[in-house]
A and B are shown apart, each in its own frame.
Chain A
Amino acid sequence: MNPLNLRPQQAHIVNTYAGGRLAVSAVPGSGKTQTLAALAAHLLARGMVGPDAEILVVTFTNSAVENIKARIRLALRDLGLGDDGFRVLTLHGLANAVVRERPDLAGVASDYHIDDELSSGRALSDAARWFTQQERDYWLSFLPSDLTQQQRYQLESEWFDETVRVAAEVTKLAKHLRLRPAEVRALILGAGDAGREGISPFLRIGAVIYERYDRVLRAGSRLDFDDLIWAAIRALNNDDDFCRRLGRRWPFILEDEAQDSTPLQEEILALLSREHGNWVRVGDPNQAIMTTFTASDVRFFRAFKQRSDVRAMPLTVSGRSAPEIIALANRLVDWTTRAHPEPDVWRQALSADGIIQPTPPGDPQPNPVAGRIRLQAFDSEDAEAQKVAQSAVRFVLSAPDKTCAILSPTHAFGHRILRALAEIQARHPQRALYQDQLRNAQPVRNVARVLAQAVRLCGQPTNTNALVELRSAMAEAGIGSSGDARDNRVKALLRSARPERLLFPLPDAAPPLPAGLTLREDEAREVYALAALAAHWLRASVLPVDQLILAIAQQLFTQENDLAIAHSLAASLRRYMMLHPDALLADAARELDAIAANRQRYLSSSLIEAGFRPAAGQITLTTMHKAKGLEWDRVYLTCVDEVEFPHDASGEFRGQVWYLAGHDPALEARVQLEALAGGASGWTEADLLRRARLEYIAERLRLLYVGITRARSDLFISYSRRRMERDNRLALAMREVLRDGSLARSAGWLEQTKPDTTNGADV
């Protein structure tokens, strides 16, 4: 039975799986999501799920949820079934579903709130601010004393950011170890009594801020994402019957992106599948790049795969990339597992199971035929940013049907490219050349911006500009209609109108627009439609702000994601208003502005790449991290150097802070807490520090692997010979895999010393 066009490996999994624990290692582009969807559909088709039960599909991001849902529905339709009997959730969504059902078991009441990363990040930053104000002298004593006023000002700000990082690291690890603030405190104090050599002041600072943060969250019945996972485990552990009941409701659990699950997340699924054991985990250990942001670790998925009660099946055939690019990715795996200078790295960074095989003849989605790989060294970061931008623009102009991405390992370098792109764009006003996906995923920005303008209008209804701003925000978000040509005329009309007459005309009052102005029909339609909308919201403006936002959102948005984003923004603003009872709608609008204007990082895992699809003929500018799961015809990998992709654990590291005498506060705090908690008994702190660095080296290798495997046909690799005022080299891994020149021969790879001029005219 193969109605779903599955490859043999995929069909094998789908047709043979009937229960039990299964680990599927899937290489990039091997169609793991497709396989999961097909498996879910087949299990339903075979009648293996009762009427009151559902197949549970768990994944990492919200956008993946939508994607999988759509694919399962499609697969079910192919099999002639209705779309019922499955549930797709993110891990956080699952944790919420568990807690919501029995919050009492988790020690919370039904009215708990979930803090997304934006608001929990803000709460943490507030807690850190509180600490630096309470203990200002102590906190400042870490900075060098011989500073000018200007330097001090600058350093204080950097030290504050560092303090927040320390607190974030301690908070994250403490929750991962399920340590409450009081327990962390007890560990630190207990260690002192035992006469141990001093506890790192960074850990102490982190612990104080964690305690404060936790108290603030608790006082608002708030759970951050880690608390939510923890609460779900508490609920499941507290009541076996409850756990069994949910197990019966979800007799099969299919998990996507399993390499990114943290141990706590894994524990939820383990508990839910304890009784029936039907747990399919699909992941690519070589793409585990979330460990720096979460407590996930590729070791856990590998350990699962090796359990005696777990079967392992591979998905190694991929039709995504051209043979040259597959060869490069495979070589990176091969070199790392065989020859990396750090033995611990070759043991853990990349897995040889992940050798990619191209599709056999006749595959429905065959590999692109001719690929090419180019390497380019530049003299400076600016040169790299500009030349890469120019080359990419030339490409999208010459191949408007192709997709293209520039991927940067850091935001900072990404912004350099952004500036270069913006300059070129200014000379090409007729078409949009790129999409900036560096920070907020675009949908977040648009939703927040439109809502900000709508809320601002409600707060300042007498300001005529508010209507104009709302209109342009809506136009930018693609809501409502506004032709470019009459743009300025309508704008002028709105500005000159008396808002009270336009929005709330009184029966006998004067017309809203200045005398002598006549409107064309289309203009009138637009102006009055906008006025009707605005009047509607203004009538709602006396409602609590979250309800106002929901009312606005119901009329503006039809996308599931937009509505979900609006709801999360509404909840976040409700909390803000609770904390600032005197705040006004204008303040609420400013909060939304902050999100809209990219000032706040909105890295919520539920929003990353929410709904994003690469558009042909446009450059996607983003980070290598956010590129995960996506593919482009051409990919530029920038900054592929020794700074971003280190190989020597004893060398200098990114986290080290010069004004703190080379300390790496966040890492040190984390490592020490880990040691205190006995998470690594028998290890010295030096061991732990080294281990942490090795983990970092390994993760960066995987990041490089992710970057490479985003490309379908063309891969352009670049770096700068001078960076951060130092000499710089191509990342060791890249030097090694390209050393023998074979890829160069087969793919036309060439190392040039002069800037790339092969692509013709200057842009």
Chain B
Amino acid sequence: MSKHYLVGHPGVGKTAALVARFTELIGSGVRPDRILVLVPQESHAQRFKSALAPARSAASAPHEERRLRRAPEIHTFFGLAQQHVSLFFPRIAPRAGFANPYREPVWMNVEAAQYLLERLMSPRMAEFEDLRMSRTRLLIQILDNLNRAATTGFPLEDLARRLASAWHGSEPRERAYRAAQDVALDFRRFCLQHTLVDFSLGMELFATHLLAADFYREYVAARYRHVLADNIEEAAPIIHDLLRLLLETSESAMLVEDDPGGFRVSLGASPQSARSLRAMCQVMPVPDPRLQPDAPDSPARFGQTLMRVIIERESRIPLRSTAVEKLYGGDVPTRYWASMVQTVADRIGTLVCSGAQAHEIAVVAPVVEDVLRFELEERLKRYGVGLRVVRPSRPLYDQPLVRALVTLARLGHPDWEQPASPQELAHALALVIAGLDVVRAQLIADAARRACGATGILALPVLDEAALWDRVGATFRGPYDALRDWLTAWVVAHRARAAPLDVFWRGLMAEVLSQPGFVQSEDAAAWLACDKLIASARAFREVFEQADLASSAGDEAFHESEMSVLGLSAKPSDGKVDVGRAYIAALAQSTLAAEYVPERAPDVSGGGVLLTPAYTYLTGEYRSRYQFWLDVNALSWHERFYQPLTHPYVLSRDWAPGRRWTDEDEQRASRDLLARVMGGLAFRCRDKIYLAASELNVAGQEERGMLARALRDL
């Protein structure tokens, strides 16, 4: 038996061992497609793919070449589950309760799920009266519950009971829990009715209809002889069930657990559940050379001590390190948030001047708001240092470039009668035309408004005043005309029958925005967001078509939504729902990023200092020579996102049914999570950690969170 379970700190070479094992298997003659590699997100796949390249180029014999040409099976946890559900759908659908099991299923994205939930939730709003939350927040929690039930593996009918038994407040909550459960069940029924598969249903199909089935066991036994899985602490319990099956059926396996880990809480990550697999393997702890007594002081050593300080907060553990520098609390205290950003920018400037590479530096904060990105970017510019910002869980609509695309979509659909304002047009033009600043863009937009008259800017007009282009600069005229021509042609071509929004955007991107004169992929994350936007619009449309939502708007089941109160009504006057407009309304309302969708990770490897929220840093494959921890006083370092209708711990597999969740549990969980986050960061840092803080936060308030208290005696 060769089943190994590697556990150790981040940065001690576990993934390298996994890759080495992969190379070893390949070298020993195993067909790559017989090896299953499971990773938490797609960016992790690269190392395995590149490991194959030398073997491929070295292969001389034809049969060797043939063998190695086969692609290795590298999947994300949920990607594999989803793929297998799709593969076996015809076989499992009849037993899973689909009204029309032989219809091709449509996978639902988050925007569509939210849109549908919103409509299903409306008649039950009164039942949530005891809580003060927006509709969006309510449905996010219902979505969360659906996903948690599926990834943990319990029936939806258990939701309310589980939540209620852990609630120990003096006021009753059952009614709201019950209502949340009912909406979830309605949603599930709707999906089964129309052969729609959302993430939660997909996972449930996987858990109940595949994992337990004999045919599936035979299938994986035949298919995957060797299993390699990285970061299994980031996986949900049903993935651990899959691994358990694979441990039984495969010849060899190597599982890797990062400790501290378990940061993908919203995806049901459970280190405890991962550890239950240890019993089936030979456990191999990987020692951390940085912590050996004779090793020099390092961020890792500091991280380990800090974790202890946070967890055993009563004891006085001396916290000192030469690998850490406080950028605050000196003789001149950093009072203002802006001064903190300046201090950080200055120190980065110094580091870069003294030879550090910008990409070796990471700035992490508990949350990364636009104002932080903007201020840091502007200040680093003065040092000639670029900034790459990774914020994958940001709502699409908050991205300026996405808004620009929405504005352009309105200009491409005059029949929507949603004219763009000069300001919107100016911002859109400034974002897509290379080198165009906001003032010049505004000059164009003002001229467009004058040319359009009272209707407002429904479509881009011809602008040929010489005086205008004199002021703006002739170089910008070409791109404007190209954009205008394309939009005009689009309107003409689709007058009879509107083409879908995703097709519009794809065309716009391919035929206009990728041309010279337009902003080239300078900000990779922004363009990635556009890709996501197009994919999301398309998936949304497919759901609409599958469930015929456009014409069912008048259904008894769907009540007038309060979106209209907010001026976000998706309904045109004739009672039919235009899918494009509905999508844009859903997008504008959506505060939830597509974090449940196993997405392509934004692997932005370009230069520049990395700025990212701590969680993104921890769940991506980032390592840095220098880390800057921002706002160490902030409460948000240790506070989880509280939502009364869902619960990451109570709705987990480790939670004993019927137990109450007490404040002490809450405290322990906060401390534990904070310790893991800080340790996780420190173990991923090679040379030095800089701590930054200001007395007043960006809002002008004083904060002193758990982290600040732990760092007090540093």
Q: Which residues of A contact B (CB under 8 A)?
A: 52, 100-105, 107-112, 180, 182, 216-223, 227, 231, 234, 237-239, 241-242, 245, 458-462, 498-500, 503-504, 506, 509, 535-536, 538-544, 547, 550-551, 554-555, 558, 560-567, 578-582, 584-586
Q: Which B residues between 401 and 440 are near A, CB-CB below 8 angstroms?
A: 403, 421, 423-424, 426-427, 430-431, 437-440
Q: A218-B133, A500-B437, A547-B370 are in contact. Are A234 and B472 (CB under 8 A)?
A: no
Whether the Cβ atoms of A563 and B336 lie closer than 8 Å is yes
B369 sits at the interface (CB 8 A): yes
Please tell me if the beta carbons of B701 and A564 are within 8 angstroms of each other in the complex.
Answer: yes
Within 8 A of A (CB), among B461-477: 471-473
Contact A109/B641 with A221-B137, A547-B374 known, Cβ cut-off 8 Å: yes
Is there contact, CB below 8 Å, between A581 and B473? Answer: no
A100's partner among B338, B423, B635, B696 (CB-CB below 8 A) is B635
Q: Which residues of B contact A182 (CB under 8 A)?
A: 129
A-B CB pair tally, cutoff 8 Å: 185
Q: In the docked arrangement, what's the CA distance between A561 and B335, Å?
A: 13
Contact A112–B663 (Cβ < 8 Å): no
A562 to B313, CA, bound (A): 36
Interfacial residues, chain B to chain A (CB-CB below 8 A): 129-135, 137, 141, 168-171, 313, 335-338, 341, 369-371, 374-375, 378, 398, 400, 403, 421, 423-424, 426-427, 430-431, 437-440, 442-443, 446, 471-473, 562, 565-568, 588, 591, 635, 639-644, 662-664, 666-667, 696, 698-701, 709
Complex: A581 Cα to B564 Cα, angstroms: 12
Residue on B with the closest CB to A113?
A: B134
Q: Is the CB–CB distance between B171 and A554 below 8 Å? A: no
Taking a contact as CB atoms closer than 8 A, the residue among B132, B141, B641 that contacts A107 in the complex is B132
Residues of A close to B426: CB separation below 8 A = 461
Question: Which of B168, B369, B696, B700 touches A239 (beta carbons < 8 Å)?
Answer: B168
26 A/B residue pairs, CB under 8 Å, sorted by A: A52-B709, A100-B639, A105-B169, A108-B644, A110-B639, A219-B566, A221-B134, A227-B132, A245-B667, A458-B438, A461-B439, A462-B439, A462-B446, A500-B437, A504-B438, A539-B378, A542-B403, A542-B430, A543-B374, A544-B398, A550-B371, A551-B375, A554-B371, A554-B375, A578-B566, A581-B567
A110-B643, A580-B567, A581-B588 known; A541-B438 Cβ under 8 A: yes
Q: Which of B400, B423, B700 contacts A543 (CB 8 A)?
A: B400
Separation of A105 and B663 alpha carbons in the complex (Å): 10
Kindly provide the distance from the CB of B429 to the nearest chain A CB, expressed in whole angstroms: 11
B316 CB to nearest A CB, Å: 9
Which chain B residue lies CB-closest to A112? B132
Q: Output the least CB separation between A574 and chain B (Å).
A: 12
Contacts of B134 in A (CB 8 A): 218-221
A42 to B310, CA, bound (A): 29
Are B171's CB and A563's CB within 8 A?
no
With A500-B471, A554-B338, A581-B588 known as contacts, the answer to whether A109 contacts B438 (CB < 8 A) is: no
Cβ–Cβ < 8 Å partners of B170 in chain A = 237-238
- Kindly report which residue of chain B lies nearest to residue A99, judged by CB atoms: B642
A563 B699 Cβ-Cβ under 8 A: yes
Q: Is the CB of B421 within 8 A of A584?
A: yes
* Nearest CB of B to A185, in Å: 12
Write the nearest CB–CB distance from B697 to chain A, whole angstroms: 9
In the bound complex, do residue B169 and residue A504 qualify as a contact, i.e. CB atoms below 8 Å apart?
A: no
CA distance A551 to B662 in the complex (A): 40
B-side contacts of A217, CB under 8 Å: 132
Interface class of chain A by DSSP = helix
The minimal Cβ–Cβ distance linking A243 to chain B, given in whole angstroms, is: 9
CB distance from B148 to the nearest CB of A (A): 15
Minimum CB–CB distance from A81 to chain B (whole Å) comes to: 15
Give Cα A562–Cα B437 distance, bound, in whole angstroms. 30
A52 neighbours in B (Cβ, 8 Å): 313, 709
- In the complex the two chains form, is A108's CB within 8 Å of B133's CB? yes
- Check A551/B439 contact, CB under 8 A, given A108-B133, A245-B663, A544-B398: no
Contact A104 B133 (CB under 8 A): no
Docked CA distance A562–B701 (Å): 11
Q: Which residue in A504, A580, A586 is a CB contact (below 8 Å) of B423?
A: A586
A512 and B134 alpha carbons, distance in the complex (Å): 49
B709: A residues at CB distance < 8 A = 52
Chain B residues lying within 8 Å of A111, measured Cβ to Cβ, are: 137, 591, 641
8 smallest CB-CB distances across A and B, nearest first, come from A563-B700, A238-B169, A241-B663, A564-B700, A504-B437, A547-B370, A567-B699, A554-B338
Contact of A231 with B132 in the complex, beta carbons under 8 Å: yes
Query: Are B369 and A547 in contact (CB-based, < 8 A)?
Result: yes
In the complex, what distance in Å separates the CA atom of A558 from the CA atom of B437?
29
Choice from B168, B336, B437, B472 contacting A538 with Cβ under 8 Å: B437
Contacts of B442 in A (CB 8 A): 460-462
Give the residues in chain B near A503, CB-CB below 8 Å.
437, 439
Given A237-B170, A462-B439, A538-B437, residue A219 in contact with residue B644 (CB < 8 A): no
Q: Decide: B374 and A566 in contact? CB cutoff 8 A.
A: no
CA distance A329 to B707 in the complex (A): 51
Q: Given that A538-B438, A584-B421 are known contacts, is A110 also in contact with B700, CB under 8 Å in the complex?
A: no
**Assembled-state Cα–Cα distance A216/B567 (Å):** 13
A584 vs B443: C-alpha distance in the bound complex, in angstroms? 17
Q: In the docked arrangement, what's the CA distance between A317 and B287, Å?
A: 70
Bound Cα distance A461, B471 (Å): 14
**Shortest Cβ distance from B399 into chain A, in angstroms?**
10
Bound CA span A555–B471, Å: 30
- What residues on B are CB-neighbors of A103 within 8 Å? 642, 644
Min CB gap A136→B, angstroms:
20
Given the complex, which residues of B lie within 8 Å of A234, measured CB to CB?
171
Q: Which of A109, A238, A241, A245 contacts B137 (CB 8 A)?
A: A109
**Alpha-carbon separation in the docked complex, A562 to B700 (Å):** 8
> CB distance B696 to A102 under 8 Å?
no
Q: Which residues of B contact A536 (CB under 8 A)?
A: 378
Contacts of A107 in B (CB 8 A): 130-132, 171, 644
A582 contact set on B, CB distance < 8 A: 421, 567
Q: Is there an interface contact between A500 and B439, defined as CB atoms closer than 8 Å? A: yes
Residue of A nearest to B640 (CB): A110
**Inter-chain contact A566/B430, CB cutoff 8 Å:** no
The complex places the Cα of A539 from the Cα of B130 at a distance, in Å, of 43
Shortest A203–chain B CB gap in Å is 21
CB-CB < 8 A to B472: which residues of A?
A: 500
Which residue from chain B places its CB closest to the CB of A239 in the assembled complex?
B663
CA distance A579 to B568 in the complex (A): 9
Q: Which of the residues A238, A535, A543 comes within 8 Å of B370, measured between beta carbons? A: A543
Distance in angstroms from B527 CB to nearest chain A CB is 16
A215 to chain B, nearest CB (A): 9
The CA-CA distance from A563 to B640 in the complex, in Å, is: 26
Contacts of A239 in B (CB 8 A): 168-169, 662-663
B698 x A550 contact (CB < 8 A):
yes
Among the listed A102, A180, A458, A560, which residue makes an inter-chain contact with B700, where contact means beta carbons less than 8 Å apart?
A560
**A566 and B700 contact, CB distance less than 8 A:** yes
Report the separation of the CA atoms of residues A110 and B667 in the bound assembly, to the nearest whole angstrom.
16
Residue of A nearest to B695 (CB): A560
B568 / chain A contacts, CB cutoff of 8 Å = 581
In angstroms, Cα B667 to Cα A102, docked, is 11
Q: Which of B130, B562, B696 makes the CB contact (< 8 A) with A219?
A: B562
A500–B440 CB distance below 8 A:
yes
Complex alpha-carbon distance, A516 and B562, angstroms: 60
Please tell me if the beta carbons of A104 and B644 are within 8 angstroms of each other in the complex. yes
Q: Give the residues in chain B near A102, CB-CB below 8 Å.
A: 642, 663, 666
CA distance A543 to B378 in the complex (A): 14
> Would you call A579 and B566 a contact (CB within 8 A)?
yes
Q: How far is the CA of A498 from the CA of B701 in the complex (A)?
A: 40
Q: Are B565 and A219 in contact (CB under 8 A)?
A: yes
Q: With contacts A238-B169, A461-B439, A567-B699 known, is A109 near B644, CB below 8 A? A: yes
A180: which B residues are within 8 A, CB to CB? 129
Which A residue's beta carbon lies closest to that of B398? A544
User: Which residues of chain B come closer than 8 Å to A242, judged between CB atoms?
Assistant: 663, 666
